[in-house]
Amino acid sequence: MEYNHRAIEARWQQYWKEAGTYHVEIDKSRPKFYVLDMFPYPSGAGLHVGHPLGYIASDIYARYKRLQGFNVLHPMGYDAYGLPAEQYAIQTGQHPEVTTRDNIARYRQQLDKIGFCFDWQRELRTCDPEYYKWTQWAFIQMFNHYYDTDAAKAMPVSKLVKHLEAHGTDGLHAAATKDLTLTADQWRAMDERQQSDVLMNYRLAYLGNTMVNWCPKLGTVLANDEVSEGVSIRGGYPVEQKLMYQWCLRVSAYAPRLLEGLDRIDWSDSIKETQRNWIGRSEGAEMKFRVAGTDIDLEIFTTRADTVFGVTFMVLAPESMYVDMVTTEDCRNEVSRYIDAIKHKTERERMIDKKVTGVFTGSYAVNPLTGKQIPIWVSDYVLAGYGTGAIMAVPAHDSRDYAFAKKFDLPIIPLIEGADVSEESFDAKSGKMINSASDELDLNGLEVKDAIAATKRFIEQKGIGKVKVNYRLRDAIFSRQRYWGEPFPVYYKDGIPHMLDVDKLPLMLPEVDKYLPTETGEPPLGRAKNWNTPEGYRLELNTMPGFAGSSAYYLRYMDPRNNDALVSKEANSYWRSVDLYVGGSEHATGHLIYSRFWCKFLYDIGEVCEDEPFRKLINQGMIQGRSNFVYRIKDTNTFVSHGLKEQYDVTPIHVDVNMVSNDILDLEAFKAWRPEYADAGFVLEEGKYVCGYAVEKMSKSMFNVVNPDDIVERYGADTLRLYEMFLGPIEQSKPWDTNGIDGVNRFIKKLWGLFYKGDTLLVNDDAPTADNLKSLHKLIKKVTADIEAFSFNTSIAAFMICVNELNQQKCHSRHILEKLIVVLAPFAPHVAEELWHTALGHDTSVVDAAWPGYDEAYLVEKNVTYAVSFNGKARFNIEVPADMQREEVEKTALAHENASKWLDGKTISKIIVVPGKIVNIVLG
């Protein structure tokens, strides 16, 4: 029998499907293991060769774990809501659901050809009402909970209401949009709408005012990357900053726990670091500066409490509520003009524009430590959204304050010994303090670190400030003015939002005539007719963003058809959380934060038993494209080979990589590619046309897309799987280069050659030799360790070595080959299954075999070579039995005929024996 990948792969894919080989159920007699891939967005372009990289790695791991006796959950589904389908719908009128369904069918076809062990009975689609029912359900739960900072967990809003009724805000420690102070009497005196507004200040899912890029012409909010120079990228319509009332999730409440949880999960340092940066914890102090001649206190946040003696002015963010309070009549016009000018800029423009601008409010603040009066300014370099939106400026030790002071000629007082602040500020947090003393507090001579601590202690004692931890993490804006997303389970009654009853879920996404905003500027859902509005009230017209559906999907896989709960207690307590999660690192500050937040919330309300969703995370690298170029001589139809292009004036042109092999262009295919190239001429090197290449993003326009289907058709899925893994470390980004795929294809053929020569079955029942056993056990040991370490490229190298050795040993022993096949099965399941059945005669699937252990006894070397060195320089080798004791090794080394030559009468000061490697004799 010859190796025929097409027949083999079709046969076993069919077999696995019919036998339900990969379907899993809860089995309490076996330990569970949950392997998950980040589910794909089914785009219209289909899969390219980069997409399956992570899926192959996780598939290998899942199969390996199963062979080790684990009950492995390995599901797959689709993140089906998304912008491309909606854009396509706007252009063509095609319902996004239709496009999405077609794309999913195509994805499924492509995935099936690669031979993954997914349990397709658990497939999910986020746009499926059965699924998004639970997305809506979770939203309702968030609406009905607030975050108690004492208990550090979510609590029911009903408890909050009880507290407000009894004590007002007194003793209430809850995450809030802004600090409120209410008495119980005031609360009870409020009408329903006022009370609703108060509760919004605490709910985990809340309606809030947020600055957004609003494009009136398009009738939608745009993301920052959809706006450039004040106009929309699509259409070029003006975009303005607008405060919009929309749904938000109070992710910021969980900032401390999101940070702390990172210490308990096995993720790469880089992605943890990215999340830490994003959460942005900073320890500092909040301090009050009295505005001179008033009873207004400006609250500021600083991490450099020690520099308070160097504060020479204050700065407010233009949006700060203090601005209005402190601006004097004389300055009011100028301040308003400044703020108006700022308003017309997008946040992005404000960031790009590094020009220092600002305006004086006319008021002064009193430095609480020195009693000196300092001017209060307004400038857009202070952000409203961080801290209190007001800062104390210390120009000597903060570069932004320094630039501002220079521009507006404000005083600069150095506070650290030896710091030269004539040209630039001294931002480092080190050195000895100077100029920092008052009657009550003397920091002079202290190290910065100690000065910070001393100042904090002092301001707390004096009641002018308190120690505070600030986080950069913002709440997530949860409304989108889009059609293709989950509808909110929300209706408005007299303008007050209410949640639908849970038993009315799902609230189905309605049909609309067009996927555009309405004429009155409402989101597309405003077009829906006869939408099932409960009791005749108005439904929320926004939809949820993309991350809504992907935040808890991993839980749903545990129990995907449950209509009574997101996941049953039984399924959740068995499968618990994802043991291995594989996906791209680009989700570090999106999906991977939101999922963790969502999970912690569900944990708080007792729905799930683990508070971290993904125990171990592997980030597969991106596969980039490797584009090929031909070089056309200007104004001709002649193309010059890469090595000769310097001699001409040429234009590089992308050519389809599928016409190029090892950078050699297939001239006939090129001529046939485009009519204008039919009569092209070529300047060749040694009879060949050599193309240039470049690493770029894999995309149609670069003609560098390699389709996995083509590889599977030509070489087979097993070759594709092995080659993708052989390309390099899984976490590394690398360009796809089909050159080299022959190597792994040859390996499979050589492996086949151990079993068959032509039609002859070579497998015999001979007892394995010591060499056979050594080759096999070396392989098992290496592959076991490599899979655990996700080092798949080196395990494939180990397979190649093993098969070459067995070939040389002419080993066809069943004993050896059976174990070889089991170990290979996770990597190349089709060929393994074929040989397992036809050559080795089994009638059960190889996936039900047991992962073999290895025996060190077969691996022990009989003899070991030591390099004998003198003063670190290797001089000769000795070969001794492997179990020889180190003193004996020393003696043998010194007894060697060459030793006396190097000793040459010198004394020996030290002898170092490294087991199995080197004897170093250090001469005195």
Q: Is 689 in the site for RNA (CB under 7 A)?
A: no
Question: Is 39 or 736 the residue whose CB approaches RNA more closely?
Answer: 736
- The first and second tokens of residue 872, run together, are 């670190």
Within 803-832, the residues that bind RNA by CB under 7 A are 804
Q: How far is CA 753 from the centre of its chain?
A: 43
- For the bound state, the minimum distance from the C-beta of residue 794 to RNA, rounded and expressed in Å, comes to 5
Helix (H) or strand (E) holding 88: helix 83-92
Q: How many CA atoms lie within 13 A of 478 on its CB side?
A: 25
Q: Judged by CB under 7 A, how many residues of this single chain contact RNA? A: 75
CB of 52 to RNA, least distance (A): 17
In the bound state with RNA, the residue whose beta carbon lies nearer, of 472 and 498, is 472
Interactions with RNA, residue window 472-491 (CB under 7 A): 472
Binders of RNA among residues 758 to 797 (CB under 7 A) are: 791, 793-794, 796-797
Stretch that binds RNA, among 85-93, 118-126, 237-245, 914-922 (CB under 7 A): 914-922
Residues pairing with 215 in the sheet? 220
Residue 685 binds to RNA (criterion: CB under 7 A): no
Q: Which of residues 339-358 bind RNA (CB under 7 A)?
A: 350-351, 353-355
**Nearest approach, Cβ of residue 798 and RNA (Å):** 8
- Name the minimum Å distance from CB 517 to RNA: 29
Q: Of the ranges 272-280, 416-424, 492-500, 829-837, which one interacts with RNA (CB under 7 A)? A: 272-280
Q: Please identify which residue in the block is written with the tokens 């099965």.
A: 825
Only one residue has tokens 């910021």, namely: 252
Degrees (nearest 5) of the Cα angle 11, 16, 17? 100
Candidates 135, 113, 108, 90; CA nearest to 39 is: 108
* Closer to RNA by Cβ: residue 21 or 357: 357
Report the site for RNA in 711-740 (rule: CB under 7 A). 726-729, 732-734, 737, 739-740
Cα gap 593→472, rounded to integer Å: 14
What lies within 8 Å, CB to CB, of 459 at 6+ separation is 285, 287, 305, 368, 465, 466
- State in angstroms the smallest separation of the CB of 278 from RNA: 5
Query: How do the residues of the chain divide into helix, strand and coil, expressed in percent and rounded to 5?
Result: 40, 20, 40
Strand, helix or coil at 695?
strand
Residue closer to RNA, measured from CB, 494 or 897: 897
Please check whether residue 385 is in contact with residue 212, taking contact to mean a CB–CB distance below 8 angstroms.
no
Binding status of residue 801 toward RNA by CB under 7 A = yes
- Residues numbered 277 to 336 that lie near RNA (CB under 7 A) are 277-278, 280, 282, 284, 301-304, 317
Site for RNA in 560-599 (CB under 7 A): 585-586, 588-589
For helices 741-755 and 792-808, the axis angle rounded to 10 degrees is 40
Residues 743-762, one symbol each (x = binds RNA by CB under 7 A, - = not), give xx-xx-xx------------
Least distance between RNA and beta carbon 865 (Å): 6
Count the alpha carbons within 13 Å of 120 in the hemisphere toward its beta carbon. 16
Q: Between 525 and 868, name the residue whose CB sits nearer to RNA.
A: 868
The correct pick among 398, 486, 612, 724 for binding RNA (CB under 7 A) is 398
Q: How far is the CB of 471 from RNA (least distance, A)?
A: 8
- Tokens 């950078």: give the residue: 663
Q: Contact with RNA (CB under 7 A): which of 93, 216, 385, 521? A: 385
If the CB atoms of residues 497 and 583 are measured against RNA, the closer one turns out to be 583
| Residue found under tokens 């030290």 | 910
Half-sphere exposure of 413 (CA within 13 A, CB side): 16
- Identify which of residues 84 and 743 has a Cβ nearer to RNA in the complex: 743
Q: Of 216 and 411, which CB lies nearer to RNA in the complex structure?
A: 411
Please give the residues from 854 up to 913 whose contact with RNA meets the rule CB under 7 A: 865, 867, 869, 871-872, 910, 912
388: how many CB neighbours lie within 10 A of its CB? Answer: 20
Write the secondary structure of 789-855 as one string of H (helix), E (strand) and C (coil): CCCHHHHHHHHHHHHHHHHHCCCCEHHHHHHHHHHHCCCCHHHHHHHHHHHCCCCCCHHHCCCCCCC
Q: Which is nearer to RNA, 33 or 471 (CB)?
A: 471
How do beta strands 490-493 and 660-661 pair?
Answer: unpaired
Among residues 679 and 897, whose Cβ is nearest to RNA? 897
**Closer residue to RNA (CB): 270 or 532:** 270
Q: Which is nearer to RNA, 97 or 349 (CB)?
A: 349
Stretch that binds RNA, among 213-221, 222-230, 271-279, 828-836 (CB under 7 A): 271-279
Q: Look at residue 749 and give its three-state secondary structure.
A: helix
Examine residue 391 and tell whether it contacts RNA (CB under 7 A): yes
Closest CA to 154 of 662, 462, 605: 605
615 binds RNA (CB under 7 A): no
* Nearest distance from C-beta of residue 444 to RNA, angstroms: 21
CA distance 378 to 364: 12
DSSP bridge partners of 230: none
Residue 747 phi/psi, 5-degree rounding, is: -60, -45
What minimum distance in Å lies between the beta carbon of 63 and RNA? 21
Q: Mask of contacts with RNA, 111-130, x by CB under 7 A?
A: --------------------
The H or E element containing residue 650 is: strand 650-655
- The two tokens of residue 278 are 């994003």
Place of tokens 């976490």: 731
In sequence order, the β-bridge partners of residue 222 are: 213
Q: Which range in 245-253, 331-339, 710-718, 741-749 contacts RNA by CB under 7 A?
A: 741-749
Which one of 118-126, 273-281, 674-682, 818-826 is the stretch in contact with RNA (CB under 7 A)?
273-281
Amino acid at 768: P
Residue 382 within binding range of RNA, rule CB under 7 A: yes
Residue 796 Cβ vs RNA, minimum distance, rounded to whole Å: 7
Q: Which stretch binds RNA (CB under 7 A): 161-169, 270-278, 596-604, 636-644?
A: 270-278
- Whether residue 86 contacts residue 96, with contact meaning beta carbons closer than 8 Å, is answered with yes
Nearer to RNA, 264 or 355 (CB): 355
- H helices, E strands: number in the chain: 29, 36
Interface of this chain with RNA, residues 4 to 23, rule: CB under 7 A: none
Give the residue, chosen from 192, 273, 685, 788, that forms a contact with RNA under the rule CB under 7 A. Answer: 273
Q: Do 610 and 577 touch, CB atoms closer than 8 A?
A: yes
Minimum distance of RNA from residue 370's CB (angstroms): 18
Q: Minimum distance from CB of 527 to RNA (Å)?
A: 35
Measured CA to CA in angstroms, residue 419 lies from 407, 416, 431, 504 at distances of: 21, 6, 9, 67
* Nearest distance, CB of residue 403 and RNA, angstroms: 7
Please state the closest distance from residue 854 (CB atom) to RNA, in A: 17
Question: How near is the Cβ of 350 to RNA at its closest, in Å?
Answer: 6
From 42, 54, 208, 387, residue interacting with RNA (rule: CB under 7 A): 387
Distance of CA 861 to the CA centre of its chain: 45
Q: Residue 236 CB, nearest distance to RNA (Å)?
A: 25
At position 217, the amino acid (one-letter code) is: K
Looking at beta carbons only, is 734 or 842 nearer to RNA? 734
Measured from the CB of residue 528, what is the shortest distance to RNA in angstroms? 36
Whether the CA torsion 889, 891, 897, 903 is positive or negative: it is positive
Least separation in angstroms between residue 320's CB and RNA is 9
**Three-state secondary structure call for residue 290:** strand
Please identify, among the stretches 219-227, 394-402, 478-486, 888-896, the one whose residues bind RNA according to the rule CB under 7 A: 394-402
Q: Residues with Cβ < 8 Å from 526, sequence gap 6 or more? A: 517, 518, 520, 541
